[in-house]
Amino acid sequence: MRPVSILHISDLHLGANPFCDDAKLNVPGAYREATVVDLCALLARYFSDSQPDVIAITGDITENGKEKGFAKFKQELFPLLSRLVGDPRAICIVPGNHDVVRNIEPSDKDYYDIKFRAYKDLVEQTGVTSALLPTGTASKDPESKIEFNAGASPLFINKCRRTMVLCVNSAIRCGEIQTDSRSGIMTPIESARQAVTHVLNNGVITDEARNDLNTAFLALHKVDDLVGRATTFDIAQVTQCQRNILEKLLDDTRKEFGEREWSKYTKLALLHHHIVPFGTQVMEHKPFDPTLDGGAVLSFLAKYDFQIVLTGHKHQRYQQITRHKSKDMIVLGAETVCGHPAFNNGRSVQYIECEQMRGLVTVSHASIPCGGGTDSADDIDAVKGRMSVEVLLRRDTAARYTWEEVDAGLQRLYEYAKSFAPDHIIGINRGGAIVGGCIGKQLGKWVKLLTVDDDLEDPKVLEHFDGSGWAKGEGLRLLLVDDSKRRGRHSQRALKLLEDKYPKAIRRYCVLLEVQTNHPGPEHTKSDSPNKAGMRGRRQIAAMGPPPQTC
């Protein structure tokens, strides 16, 4: 069976006004229009013969919940996207903080209905799969019960492809007014405004004093807008009430499928906001930037064996493997399409392939630039050729991985390396050299070694090979290999070194597994079983390929 394919799009920001309160949206309208045209042409070109199984859109379709952006999506993008997948339910969408109407009085009896009205219309008119939407009045108690609309299911299931996509709403409390704070600030301001008005209307004052009071009166009016912005928060929260409904839905689905069939499904969760910190995260000094109940969300997803989480919001492409409740998950973030790129990022969509094989979950991903960027690739096969590969071993912490499982993961990395056809294979530290040696033996290549020390503040990269004779022009293909990835600091430093020394080279990175262990190294392991793949298993991998060589 071919891998499950996903087209991941995020942060479209269609139809935004020229003036925005978020610097990431400060992009001229004409450029946004050109970017949409560019995106449509890009999708038509890349997916003319190869259709994705799922299209995931992780929020911020419009700006401030305005219908203009949703209308643009329906008119220009949705027809193309629906043709790509055939079934509109395979287009899975979640709302972002810019998809809600802001600054609504929480006591309004239709608070949530007004807040999500335009987004709800989009979902109903297109027939896409989307998250649960709240209804009714908001409570001052964040843990109070929230009612949700009884609409279509937030779970998309493709039984032929054994794929599940769960849409999760993290924008429920976005655009929320902090009424107590606003009242505390505005009460003295309103008193001052009334006092100034009284003096202007009834006082006997000089012309100079009158001019000064008029200036003060205008300044007080300007403060209103500033206070409104300062007391309107984007609180990213999934809420316990939503999780309870989703748990009931997944429990029923799991019971219907049975454990054996359930375990065969690739499971993806979509939400707008990031739920784990990541190494390249750009800091924004504002309240409630990450998901408030992110830990509870991770526990919930781990309980139901979700392997992949797709997010947006930060306008950054990142990958972060996390282990929660003894389960491995990979969190992938996407760049923006029409918004302002974050630092060191661009505008792109993301192409992802997922595959389950002999107990392993393989996730491959690559970005496709759009919006002013150019890409020399002519078809999706070229995109696949530059994919990063992650292999997840989903087991409880107490369990060991069998040699067969590790061997299957190595085989997947070999297939990826063979398709990439590297000129040189470079391993990170001892573990990366071992895995690279296994791959290199099958490709007939020696592995080179980079050492990254364990200084947590400033890891140093030591180069154990002389690459002065390597081709400096375009076309040099370098494959960087590591055995495991925790926070990604070592791989980031190693990739940066290769980028600086060989800026025109084609660089790819792959990793065998993400595993947590208390053993500091192979020499400390107490396991002698030949079919264990903890630290002892890595020692067996070294016996498979040529020894690491320095040159």
Q: Provide DSSP, 188-238.
A: HHHHHHHHHHHHHHH----HHHHHHHHHHHHHHHHHHHHHHHHTEEEE-B-
Range scoring the smallest mean pLDDT among 104-113, 245-254, 435-444:
104-113
Between CA 253 and CA 486 the distance in angstroms is: 32
pLDDT band at 127 (very low <50, low <70, confident <90, very high): very high
In this structure, the answer to whether residues 193 and 103 fall within a common structural domain is no
Out of 188, 214, 230, a domain closes at 230
Give the pLDDT of residue 550.
Answer: 30
Place of tokens 């600086």: 500
Structure-model confidence comparison of residues 486 and 210, the more confident one: 210
Give the pLDDT of residue 204.
Answer: 78
Query: Looking at the domain assignment, is residue 396 inside a domain?
Result: no
Whole-number Cα distances in Å, 91 to 9, 25, 181, 296, 354: 11, 24, 40, 26, 17
Give the pLDDT of residue 376.
Answer: 47
Q: For the segment 267-285, what is each residue's pLDDT rounded down to a tens digit?
A: 999 999 998 877 777 766 6
Give the pLDDT of residue 484.
Answer: 79
Give the pLDDT of residue 345.
Answer: 82
Rounded to 10 degrees, the C-alpha dihedral 9/82/60/361 comes to -40
In this structure, the answer to whether residues 364 and 465 fall within a common structural domain is no
- Short-list 91, 8, 88, 16, CA closest to 309: 8
- Short-list 132, 126, 168, 170, CA closest to 151: 132
pLDDT band at 266 (very low <50, low <70, confident <90, very high): very high
Displacement of CA 43 from its chain's centroid (Å): 20
Q: For the segment 326-376, what is each residue's pLDDT rounded down to a tens digit?
A: 778 899 999 988 887 777 788 889 999 998 866 678 888 888 888 654 444
Between CA 444 and CA 467 the distance in angstroms is: 19
Is-above-0.85 flag for pTM?
no
Q: How many domains does the chain have?
A: 3
pLDDT band at 479 (very low <50, low <70, confident <90, very high): very high
Query: Looking at the domain assignment, is residue 549 inside a domain?
Result: no
Alpha-carbon Rg for the chain, nearest whole angstrom, is 27
- Short-list 293, 342, 287, 286, CA closest to 313: 342
Q: Any idea what DSSP says for residue 528? A: -
Which DSSP helix (H) or strand (E) runs through 455? none
How many other CB atoms are found less than 10 A from the CB of residue 284?
A: 12
State phi, psi for 168 to the nearest 5 degrees.
-120, 130
Give the pLDDT of residue 77.
Answer: 92
Residues across the chain: 551
Out of 230, 246, 263, a domain closes at 230
Percent of the chain at pLDDT above 90? Answer: 34
- Short-list 243, 306, 237, 315, CA closest to 278: 315
Give the pLDDT of residue 465.
Answer: 76
Between CA 135 and CA 150 the distance in angstroms is: 10
- CATH number for the domain that contains residue 462: 3.40.50.2020
In this structure, the answer to whether residues 330 and 385 fall within a common structural domain is yes
Structure-model confidence comparison of residues 515 and 228, the more confident one: 228
Query: Looking at the domain assignment, is residue 73 inside a domain?
Result: yes
- Does 184 have pLDDT greater than 60? yes
- Does 211 have pLDDT greater than 90? no
Query: Looking at the domain assignment, is residue 548 inside a domain?
Result: no
In this structure, the answer to whether residues 455 and 523 fall within a common structural domain is yes
Give the pLDDT of residue 459.
Answer: 58
Give the pLDDT of residue 53.
Answer: 95
Across 136-163, average pLDDT:
86
- CATH number for the domain that contains residue 125: 3.60.21.10
Query: Looking at the domain assignment, is residue 547 inside a domain?
Result: no
- Does 442 have pLDDT greater than 80? yes
Q: Which residues pair with 235 in a beta bridge?
A: 173
Q: For the segment 381-417, what is each residue's pLDDT rounded down to a tens digit?
A: 777 767 777 776 554 443 456 677 788 888 888 888 9
Out of 390, 410, 434, a domain closes at 390
Place of tokens 């993290």: 170
- Does 73 have pLDDT greater than 90? yes
- Short-list 292, 294, 278, 285, CA closest to 345: 278
In this structure, the answer to whether residues 318 and 370 fall within a common structural domain is yes
Give the pLDDT of residue 285.
Answer: 62
* Domain region containing 516: 401-542
In this structure, the answer to whether residues 238 and 330 fall within a common structural domain is yes
Structure-model confidence comparison of residues 412 and 247, the more confident one: 247
Query: Looking at the domain assignment, is residue 508 inside a domain?
Result: yes
Across 522-526, average pLDDT:
33
Question: What stretches of 304-428 show up as alpha helix (H) in DSSP?
Answer: 380-384, 403-420
Q: Are 163 and 190 in contact (CB under 8 A)?
A: no
In this structure, the answer to whether residues 360 and 314 fall within a common structural domain is yes
Which tokens sit at 24? Answer: 């990431």
Across 235-259, average pLDDT:
95
In this structure, the answer to whether residues 199 and 132 fall within a common structural domain is no
In this structure, the answer to whether residues 491 and 414 fall within a common structural domain is yes
Query: Looking at the domain assignment, is residue 551 inside a domain?
Result: no
Across 420-449, average pLDDT:
91
In this structure, the answer to whether residues 187 and 239 fall within a common structural domain is no
Q: Are 196 and 176 in contact (CB under 8 A)?
A: no
In this structure, the answer to whether residues 530 and 405 fall within a common structural domain is yes
Which DSSP helix (H) or strand (E) runs through 392? strand 388-393
Which DSSP helix (H) or strand (E) runs through 141? none
- Specify the 3-state DSSP secondary structure of 488: coil
HSE-CB for 331 with a 13 A CA cutoff: 26
Give the pLDDT of residue 537.
Answer: 31
Across 222-231, average pLDDT:
78
Cβ neighbours for 19, distance < 8 A, ≥ 6 positions apart: none
Place of tokens 């009896």: 109
Give the pLDDT of residue 85.
Answer: 92
- N-terminal to C-terminal alpha carbon distance within the chain: 41
Which tokens sit at 436? Answer: 């690279």
Q: Any idea what DSSP says for residue 425? A: E
Q: Are 546 and 437 in contact (CB under 8 A)?
A: yes
Give the pLDDT of residue 32.
Answer: 73
pLDDT band at 183 (very low <50, low <70, confident <90, very high): confident
Which DSSP helix (H) or strand (E) runs through 73? none
In this structure, the answer to whether residues 454 and 493 fall within a common structural domain is yes
State phi, psi for 451 to the nearest 5 degrees.
-110, 125
Range scoring the smallest mean pLDDT among 126-140, 249-263, 473-487:
473-487
Judged on CB neighbours under 10 Å (0-12, 13-18, 19+), 521 is exposed
Q: Considering the chain, what is the average pLDDT of its residues?
A: 80
pLDDT band at 254 (very low <50, low <70, confident <90, very high): very high
- Specify the 3-state DSSP secondary structure of 196: helix
Query: Looking at the domain assignment, is residue 98 inside a domain?
Result: yes
Across 200-213, average pLDDT:
83
